[in-house]
Amino acid sequence: MPACLPDIPARPSPADQPLSLTYDHESREMERYRGLALSFLPTRPHISRLMAALGIECEQRLGALETLAEQLQRRHCLPANLARRRVLAEQYRLHLFISDDAMASQTLSYALAFAQHSLQFSELMARHCQLARLDALLTRFVDGKRHECRLLEEVRDQTQRAAVGT
Q: What is the pTM of this model?
A: 0.84
CA 118/CA 1 separation, integer angstroms: 53
pLDDT tens profile 12-41: 566 678 898 999 999 999 999 999 999 999
Domains, the chain, in order of start with CATH, read: 15-165 (1.20.1260.10)
- Helix (H) / strand (E) element for 123: namely helix 101-128
Q: Are 138 and 22 in contact (CB under 8 A)?
A: yes
pLDDT tens profile 128-165: 888 889 999 999 999 999 999 999 999 999 998 887 87
Amino acid at 5: L
Residue 93 has phi, psi (to 5 degrees) of -80, 135
